[in-house]
Chains A and B, each alone.
Chain A
Amino acid sequence: MYQEIFKKYEPTKDNLIYILHDIQDSHPQQYITEEAVLSVSKYINVPINHIYGVITFYGMFSTKPRGRNIIRLCESPPCYLKGCDNIYRKLKEILNIKQNETTEDGIFTLELCACLGVCGNAPVMMINNDIYGDLTEEKVVKIIKDIKGEK
């Protein structure tokens, strides 16, 4: 089932990270399954333990099922200065989940991350590929509501 992805890359170790990116993006629950790791291991001829080593090293990969929308809230100093902790509290409250958990309906996963490079608009979060800046508690409530409405 990963043949489409494998076709894009030569079977060499240096393509591992890009293959993993594609596999994760193609899964509706945005994670890398054990079965996927086995296929990748066969395709590029690299031991499974190396692949797990890579997956767990990088913050963007997950080995656990996640929601359709991954919220990544920045907790680095510039965002902290601008009150990201309040945003975090609000997010936990309205989604009723803790860090790295997924809502029951499978719509959201809440993660904390390091600097996203949009510090001029701190506090900042990223939901999937979109950046949301100058966050306030009211704004966060609205963003979450809008995404829920779209589903």
Chain B
Amino acid sequence: MKFYRSHILLGINETSIEAGAKKIELALKAELSKRNLQDEIDVLETGPLGFFAKGVCLKVYPENTLYENVTVEDIPELVEEHFLKGRPVKRLLASTTRVEAYDFNYKERNVLENSGIIDPEDIEEYIGVGGYEAWEKALLEMTTDEIISEVKESGLRGRGGAGFPTGLKWSFTAPIDSPEKHLVINADEGEPGTFKDRLIMEGDPHKLLEGMMIACRAIGANKGFIYIRGEYKLCIERLRHAINQCRSYGILGEDIFGSGFNLDFDIKVGAGAYVCGEETALIESLEGNRGNPRFKPPFPGVKGLWQTPTVVNNVETIANVPTIINKGAEWYKSLGVNGATGTKVYTLMGDVAMPGLTEVPMGITLRDIINKYGGGMLKGKKFKAALVGGAAGVILSDKLLDVKMDYESLKEYTAVLGSGAIMVMGEEVDMVEMLWSILRFFRHESCGKCFPCRLGTQQLYNIICKIRDGQGKEEDLESMIMLSDAMLKSSFCALGQSPYMPIKSSILNFRNDFLKRIK
């Protein structure tokens, strides 16, 4: 193996490609060869570095220098100054707040610990940082009961929105005697404002695969599916590549590590329907049908895909599993608070200085997430509200900035953690407009199977349009709450139950915004 003096990490994701990351990579390599540095300096593609909005970013090790907004024109100067003369190019250095946020961002990572550090397209790099050790341990040294009790003990809960305990879910399916069982990974990330799963899959696809392997062994499934949305082209490409690598390394396939256990994975691509994030709708879609949810019970754990016992887990949930097996439930529990253990990946957007993602232990406050990791509010903006958990989430006012972000603490304020999307809104944002946009989304995405949701989402949209056009009455606010409450109680699946949260919280916290449009 060659020894390099420095490594340049180039964050490749859908947005940096747009900003010209690939062109910069070519230019860098060409310039390094021109100066005869190609054997000293290595250029590596890696996953997302954790924040965006500033063009193409480069991270240089071992110097630990972070450059941002690099263009092709900057490359000759950068190579000459930094790599020939050893002087960082000040003009391109990332701002101090960004560097601090970057360092913070990597301090407590678990799911994303390798993202932005290793090359996601090279299995050897993943193995080099201890990858697939947990899989080996789970397969050769642990019984299925031991795996499940370790995950149960860790307190891991589903990260897709509902927060159901993962170990418990597995324990329903594991004892069922069935010739076929399936694991399905829900990568149909459609909740507006959520892109954590995309970044996990783009940055460290093997982490997800390793977690899936352990889960399959625990429940006794020999086949795993990843149901991924059609829009995530780069994820699909990287996952396909990663699965093929696993097959050729004998990590997937028949008689893995001589254990007699057979396992294979497949990727299934969705076609654009928000409701397919609901587990039974997702299963319908996998079977080649319209994505209408199914009646529960029977739950998928008993009768799911092709009527076989099926566990459906979110990407982030499963990506937590290798660490739990490696470091143990005790270690995992030491992170987080209040019945919410481990770390959570949040996606941050809207009127913040540095939109992006961050992974922090459960129980950190909203204020800290915005200030420490998001670099505070966008210049000149003052915090008004945050939409937490996507369209199906709640709109929090500044009074709740110091509430701990975990399942139980938020529940006290009838709020939810949801998918971990945090959309920050500055003072000039009008809640009528925001709610209108949310209700337009639900109206469009209702699948039409049950009437409370099919008619309710349309009716809610009609009312908010009326208010938006200045034709509303004060009673309309109450009827929106009543109607969405009725939908909460009578809708078939979580989609129809969701509008209640944003409606209730926005009217409760920002009634004045609505009254202004009414009077």
The answer to whether B42 has its CB under 8 Å from any CB of chain A is no
User: Is B288 an interface residue when CB atoms closer than 8 A count as contact?
Assistant: yes
Interface residues of A in 36-71 (CB under 8 A from B): 46, 50, 53-54, 57-61
Per-residue CB contact flags for chain A residues 99-114 toward chain B (1 = under 8 Å, else 0) read 0000000000000011
Known: A14-B288, A120-B15. Is A81-B350 also a contact (CB below 8 A)? yes
Q: Which of B15, B193, B288 is the one whose CB lies under 8 Å from A54?
A: B288
The smallest C-beta distance from A50 to any residue of chain B, in angstroms, reads 8
Whether the pair B231, A80 counts as a contact (CB closer than 8 A) is no
Query: Distance (Å) between the CB of A28 and the closest chain B CB?
Result: 19
A53–B271 alpha-carbon span in the complex (Å) = 13
Is A118 interfacial (CB-CB < 8 Å)? yes
Q: Select the residue from B191, B268, B290, B348 with max chain A CB neighbours within 10 A.
A: B290
| Residues of the A chain whose Cβ atoms lie less than 8 Å from the Cβ of B387 | 77
* A: contact size bracket: 35 or more
Q: How far is the CA of A135 from the CA of B119 in the complex (A)?
A: 29
The answer to whether the Cβ of A21 comes within 8 Å of any Cβ in the partner chain is yes
* Chain B 425-467 interface 0/1 with A at a Cβ cutoff of 8 Å (1 = within): 1000100011001101100110100000000000000000000
A17, A54, A115, A129: the one contacting B192 at CB < 8 Å is A115
Interface string of A3-16 (1 = CB under 8 A from B): 00000000011111
- Given B193, B271, B286, B438, which contacts A58 in the complex, CB threshold below 8 Å? B271
Given contacts A57-B273, A114-B274, A119-B349, contact A76 B18 (CB under 8 A): no
Give Cα distance in the complex from A59 to B229, angstroms: 11
Which residue of chain B has the shortest Cβ distance to A129 in the bound complex?
B233
Whether A60 contacts B271 in the complex (CB less than 8 A), given A16-B288, A54-B290, A119-B192, comes out as: yes
Indicate which residue in B193, B230, B272, B290 contacts A119 across the interface (CB closer than 8 Å): B193
Answer whether A13 and B291 are a contact pair too, CB < 8 Å, given A120-B347, A131-B14: no
Docked Cα-Cα span, A86 to B444, in Å, equals 20
What's the minimum C-beta distance from A49 to chain B, rounded to whole angstroms?
11
B356, closest chain A residue (CB): A120
The digit string for A110-151, where 1 denotes a CB below 8 A from any CB of B, is 000111111111100010011111100000000000000000
Report chain A residues within 8 Å CB of B17: 131
* Chain B residues whose C-beta falls within 8 Å of the C-beta of A46 in the assembled complex: 288
B158 CB to closest chain A CB (Å) equals 19
- A contact residues around B14 at 8 Å (CB): 118, 131
A72 CA to B441 CA, complexed, in Å:
15
Note all chain A residues with C-beta closer than 8 A to B286.
14
A20 in contact (CB, < 8 A) = yes
Asked if A120 contacts B349 (CB within 8 A), the reply is yes
Docked Cα-Cα span, A81 to B386, in Å, equals 12
Residues of B within 8 A of A78 (CB): 192-193, 349-350, 423
Most buried by B among A57, A117, A132: A117
Q: Is the CB–CB distance between A115 and B272 below 8 Å?
A: no
Chain A contacts for B505, CB-based, 8 A = none
* Chain A residues with CB under 8 A of B287: 13-14
Contact indicator A21/B269 (Cβ below 8 Å): yes
A125 CB, nearest partner CB in chain B, Å? 11
Nearest-Cβ distance from residue A132 to partner chain B, whole angstroms? 6
Once the chains bind, are B440 and A116 in contact (CB under 8 Å)? no
Known contacts: A53-B290, A57-B273, A57-B290. The answer to whether A122 contacts B194 by CB under 8 A is no
Assess whether B165 is interfacial by the CB under 8 Å rule: no
CA–CA, A81 to B268, complex, Å? 32
A14 to B349, CA, bound (A): 36
B288–A15 CB distance below 8 A: yes
Which residue of the partner chain A has the closest CB to B189?
Answer: A117
List of B residues within 8 angstroms of A14 by Cβ: 286-288
In the assembly, what is the distance between CA of A64 and CA of B314, in Å? Answer: 34
- Do A119 and B355 touch (CB < 8 A)? yes
Q: Which residue of chain B lies nearest to A117 when distances are taken between CB atoms in the complex?
A: B195
Q: With A15-B288, A117-B194, A119-B421 given, name 10 new contacts (CB 8 A).
A: A58-B272, A77-B437, A78-B350, A80-B433, A81-B425, A114-B272, A114-B444, A117-B231, A131-B17, A133-B52
The 4 closest A-B CB pairs, nearest first, are A59-B272, A58-B271, A76-B192, A16-B288
Interface residues of B (CB under 8 A from A): 14-15, 17-18, 51-53, 189-195, 198, 229-233, 268-274, 285-291, 347-351, 355-357, 387, 391, 421, 423, 425, 429, 433-434, 437-438, 440-441, 444-445, 447
A–B Cβ pairs within 8 angstroms, 19 of them: A17-B268, A20-B271, A53-B290, A54-B288, A54-B289, A54-B290, A60-B271, A76-B192, A77-B391, A77-B437, A77-B438, A81-B423, A114-B441, A115-B192, A117-B189, A117-B195, A119-B192, A120-B15, A120-B356
